[in-house]
Chain A
Amino acid sequence: MDLGRRIASRLAAATAERITGAGLDNAQLNRPHIERSVLDLAPLAFGDGDRAVVVAAGPSLRRRDSIARLARSGFKGAIVAVDSALGACLRAGVLPHVVVTVDPHPERIVRWFGDPDLTAPPADDYFRRQEMDRTHAVDEVAANRKLVELVDRYGPRLRVAAATSAAPKVVERCRQSGMTLYWWNPMYDDYDRADSVSRRLHRDNGLPCLNGGGNVGTAAWVLTHAVLGKRRIGLIGMDFGYAPGTKYEQTQYYPELREMFGDRLGEAFIRIENPTTGETWLTDPAYYWFRDVFFEMSREADCETVNCTEGGILCGPEIKAVTLEEFVNG
């Protein structure tokens, strides 16, 4: 097994070890703001019928113009977006029924909601360097300012499914812009164990625990079928990889991988051919782990999952791939 895949196979335990402390700390800080459970979303019955589209923020979203196509398609089902796709949705005139946020990072995630305190480009080049939302790469401060305005305008009409692990700065921004928050706990471990962190957290705040699958995109998909009860789910922007031609330095974990692997950087990356498009996509150990987890979870899910990304590495027998229009009209 090559280095990248070997690392990927051990990321479940490594993730738990790395983020559980921060998530639990945030759960305590967020406690005074918890008024609603994510279970309160279920009776609201978003959209017509049992269909939903989950909007993630991978590069195919822009390459395939997926959000504009979704807006033009006349799709009547539910739309659930990850936090990093919120800006792209609002710019395209798509108002998601639910926005999902989970990441405990203290500084970065608020940017997906527009950070009112940002007045100069930060030293952290996370947003400039990557290709998740190119508007941030051109003029970070101006892009942020526009996003602040958009989120302020639409905030009172937005519902956020917020994990208790979410950074307090994100929670403050959501509340300040008038969003309604619906809370849930990340499932940290096996709740059947007597010493379970998940069980202790549930006992403390009474909220349900969602199995997040490693990332906000998978968490949004879990919420869409396990909480909202949707049975046919189309995915857009859920690539778990980087488009052909992407340079290593434009990938999410590049600084960490470069520091760790130096000259052997390339060994950490994995190349996967998408059978639908014939393109070879690049992925890293974290995204490769997300993909494996998604396949495992999709085999257990009580819903049909349809990949409408027209790209990425989420291709396998478990998940049918069609165009967005075929999904909407099928």
Chain B
Amino acid sequence: MTDYLKGNYKVDAKIEEPQGEAPNSTDEFEKKALSRLGGSICFVSKKGFLWKGDGADGSGTKDR
């Protein structure tokens, strides 16, 4: 990609990275935690327990 996006000029303005929250903030902890923790299988709320598909024979039903 860098082969196609080489700059051919310099800008005068100094670009500053937006100040993020401190690395030890609660939000930062949560963000990190959410990428590492969790279960081994999904949970889908309000969709019953077993889905057999939409079979035309009527077998494809959501069973509770």
Contact = CB atoms under 8 A, between A and B. Distances in A.
A20 B42 contact: yes
22 contacts: A18-B38, A19-B38, A20-B42, A39-B52, A208-B52, A210-B50, A211-B44, A211-B48, A212-B39, A212-B41, A213-B43, A214-B42, A215-B41, A216-B41, A222-B49, A226-B64, A253-B37, A256-B36, A259-B36, A264-B29, A268-B33, A286-B38
B32 to A, nearest CB: 5
B31 to A, nearest CB: 9
B29 A225 contact: no
- Looking at chain B's contact residues, is the secondary structure mostly helix, strand, loop, or mixed? loop
Given A188-B44, A226-B63, A256-B37, 16 more contacts: A3-B26, A7-B37, A15-B42, A19-B40, A165-B41, A191-B51, A209-B50, A211-B51, A212-B41, A214-B40, A218-B43, A227-B50, A256-B36, A264-B24, A301-B49, A302-B64
What range describes how many residues of B lie at the interface?
20 to 34
Interface residues of A, number: 65
B45 interface: yes
Interface string A254-292: 001101110010001000000000000000111001100
A118 interface: no
Contacts of B41: 15, 19, 23, 102-103, 163, 165, 186, 212-216, 219
- Looking at chain A's contact residues, is the secondary structure mostly helix, strand, loop, or mixed? helix
A249 interface: no
Interface of A: 3, 6-7, 10-12, 14-16, 18-20, 23, 39, 102-105, 163, 165, 186-192, 198, 202-203, 206, 208-216, 218-219, 222, 225-227, 253, 256-257, 259-261, 264, 268, 284-286, 289-290, 293, 296-297, 300-302
B43 A12 contact: yes
B33 to A, nearest CB: 5
